A and B are shown apart, each in its own frame.
Chain A
Amino acid sequence: MPQETVPAVVIYDGRCRFCLGFKAWVERRVSCDRLRFVDCRSRERAVEFPEVREFECLEAMVIARPDRSIRVGADALAELSSLLPGWGWFGTMMRIDIVRRLARNAYRWFAPRRHLVSCGSGICRFSAPWFEARRFRRWGELAAAALLVAGLAGHYSFVLLHLLPKNPVTIIYGDVVDGYVRPFFVQNWHLFAPTPPLTKRSIHIQLALRPKDRGAVALSEWFDITTPLVRRLWRNRLSPAVTRQRTIEGVVGSYANLLIQQRQSPDSELPLNHAARRYRFLLAAIAGKLYSEDSFELLAVRARLLHESAPPISELGKVNPNEELRSVVLPWTTPLGAGLPSEFGELSSENSGGGEAR
């Protein structure tokens, strides 16, 4: 037969609504064979615990452990927390001297004010006489509503200024607007406007390989890496091909755009180095899967963007619509970021340089 356990006893103020709410909260979490509640004013308390005097247990919560040792106030809370599932950390924290002192002071401050808080149906409310006054509450709510709505109005004025085209206000206060919006509320809602994408883009890569048996450097064919991804994407619109295709397009596209911009205005300061580094990391990650490492050594790799413009709507259905094919060949890059090998001179002069259009 299992030995019967003696429950700990909590002595509480039975007329305090906060204490009753707290008692109900604890009772939902601890079984009654581990914890028992006794009202401070009851005869039961006077008979069972004569050593705890009534004014003491009305001043602070008291807990009598199974061995009849007594804990009061914040220490009683720490004792109780060891019985509450998920609250053991409180007891652990209370072993630290400064935390214990702070908790005792906080308990001492709150205990005489506990009648201002009343609890029922799982919710506690602050109900001081001056707060209870309906008038005060109504005005409080009114002020809160006004404040929240004013906050919203302020927030969306900034967002509106962020979204509007350049105007006198955004030119003068651009920094203020930017400072507010960045980074959490940055937004761009162009979504295929004002011009939807007019060309189909595909990205191809070419490798420069040296056979391991010391042969001459050879160039591979151009591998189309985005068209198979687009095909896979349409077979399953939630496949990893979507994120892969977007990453490749994003990195190669932004590098190509920067190179073209630089060619148009060579003096402008563009973050070309960053884009070039990402381009190198990307190509190094992709190229590894396109050749056999046993028989070849990868010297360099480059990408090209093929833009195929859609036939204008007026020429749809004609036998030879006016389609335009434009290719942008991006510079060679080495997978490890080292300089290009010396024998690479004739290859790189053949077809390198950014933004080349054919």
Chain B
Amino acid sequence: MIVDCLRSLRVMLARRPHNRMGAAIARAGFGLWLTSYYLQSFAILDFVWGEHGPFPHSEFLQMLEGTGGFSLLKLSASPVMLYALWALGLSASICLIFGIKPRLAALTSAILLWSFHERNPTILDGGDNLGRIVLMFMIPMCTAAHLSLKRAIPGRVVSRVRNMIHNVALLAVTLQFCMLYGASGSAKANGSLWQNGTAIYYVLMNDVYAHPFFGPLFSKHFLIITIASYATIALQISFPFLVWSKRWRIVSILGLISMHAGIGYLMGLVRFSLVMGSGLAMLLPDEFYRTVMLAPRRLFAAPGLPSKAAAR
């Protein structure tokens, strides 16, 4: 029986690369996320990662010794080094957006992202934490099949070993999201404010996280607050279970993507939501994207004409 299981696993992993459209969307989304990370700090580069901020180079070296981390920025305190690595990081992330040499771009981005994260850890949020882990898994994946300037050559035989590596990396990303939402959902379920459905109210009362117009508006509507609090817990806790079912996976992922869109707009955490949303988009199957892309054609097809399927 174990051999049978392994056999079907082998077929599943080696026959074709799964979720190629999702992987391409995630790659482009990560590219945007990284580009915004670099551009966001350009005007204050010297304060955030340079000598005129809380972490001058000597301080940074001590910090690195304490954490045992790794960073290319430790090589030199010179601003030339900082600007060069910044420019390299920006170019790699633009290559990711357009799918130019995506494997090399992902590898470069992962190394540089680490270097900059270690340089100033105070600016990071949960999205950065997820992004750098998923980026590592993205390196061996096949992400250039769609939305790419350099498309894979059509008809080119892709080896089964490569398929297998792509699919295992995809599985790793799925498991990473299960850990994320499992941990976050259960921590929320243990908090008394989430249990009594008022947590979102307190988030909306904080000026850093509350939209100046919608924040005060929603904070007075207890129905919205309560439903949103419970829906967040339900979506997060159910994800590790629903993601393994073909049909429920789509429901769960779309629910979470809309939750992140809400967080991005109403709480102002745009980069966090971008990385979470594009990571989740990777987990949607190719069939889903095909259906979505064909939907407008089906809807607006002239009613009198027989459709292709009917003609067959």
Contacts and interface: CB of A to CB of B under 8 A. Distances in A.
B179 A152 contact: no
B268 A250 contact: no
A242 B63 contact: no
Contacts of B262: none
B7 A142 contact: yes
B223 interface: no
Nearest to B155: A121
Interface in B160-178: 160-161, 164-165, 168, 171-172, 175-176
Contacts of A271: 66
Contacts of B122: 246-247, 249-251, 254
Given A238-B40, A246-B122, 12 more contacts: A122-B153, A142-B10, A149-B171, A189-B129, A190-B183, A194-B191, A195-B191, A197-B202, A243-B48, A247-B122, A279-B54, A313-B202
A247 B120 contact: yes
Interface stretch (B17-25, B89-97, B193-201): B193-201
A159 B182 CA distance: 12
B88 interface: no
A184 interface: yes
Interface string A114-157: 00000001110100000000000010011011101100100110
A169 to B, nearest CB: 16
Contact of A188 (B126, B136, B202): B126
A149 B168 contact: yes
Interface in B107-124: 120-123
A187 B69 contact: no
Interface stretch (B207-215, B281-289, B304-312): B207-215
A189 B180 contact: yes
A244 B206 contact: no
Contacts of A159: 176, 179
A165 to B, nearest CB: 9
A189 B187 contact: yes
A198 B10 CA distance: 50
A31 B233 CA distance: 63
B207 A200 contact: yes
Contact of B203 (A142, A182, A197): A197
B67 interface: yes
Given A189-B183, A281-B59, A285-B47, A316 B219 contact: yes
Contacts of B78: none
A314 B155 CA distance: 65
Contacts of B160: 141
- Give the interface size bracket for B toward A: 35 or more
Nearest to A254: B122
Interface in A185-228: 185-200, 227
28 contacts: A121-B153, A123-B156, A125-B159, A142-B3, A152-B175, A155-B172, A183-B69, A183-B70, A184-B136, A185-B133, A187-B133, A190-B183, A192-B199, A193-B187, A194-B192, A195-B192, A237-B270, A239-B40, A240-B42, A243-B40, A244-B44, A244-B48, A250-B122, A278-B59, A279-B54, A281-B55, A310-B205, A313-B222
B299 interface: no
Given A163-B179, A285-B52, A316 B220 contact: yes
Contacts of B175: 152, 156
Given A145-B9, A200-B205, A278-B54, A189 B184 contact: yes
Contacts of A278: 54-55, 59
Interface centre among B7, B10, B136, B219 (most CB of A within 10 A): B10
A258 interface: no
Contact of B53 (A163, A242, A285): A285
A5 B225 CA distance: 79
- Give the interface size bracket for A toward B: 35 or more
Interface string A276-300: 0111011001000000000000000
Nearest to A314: B198
B43 interface: yes
Contacts of B194: 193-194
Interface of A: 121-123, 125, 138, 141-142, 144-146, 148-149, 152, 155-156, 159-160, 163, 182-200, 227, 230, 233-234, 237-240, 242-247, 249-251, 254, 271, 274, 277-279, 281-282, 285, 310-311, 313, 316-317
B53 A282 contact: yes
Nearest to A163: B183
A16 B222 CA distance: 77
A188 B43 contact: no
B6 interface: yes
Contacts of A243: 40-41, 44, 48, 123
B47 A244 contact: yes
Contacts of B211: 234
A187 to B, nearest CB: 5
Contact of B206 (A122, A197, A279): A197
Contacts of A194: 187-188, 190-194
A190 B185 CA distance: 9
B65 to A, nearest CB: 11
A141 B120 contact: no
A138 B47 CA distance: 57
A141 B181 CA distance: 32
A247 B206 CA distance: 18
A245 B13 CA distance: 45
6 tightest Cβ-Cβ pairs between the two chains A and B = A250-B122, A194-B191, A310-B205, A193-B187, A282-B54, A193-B188
A327 to B, nearest CB: 17
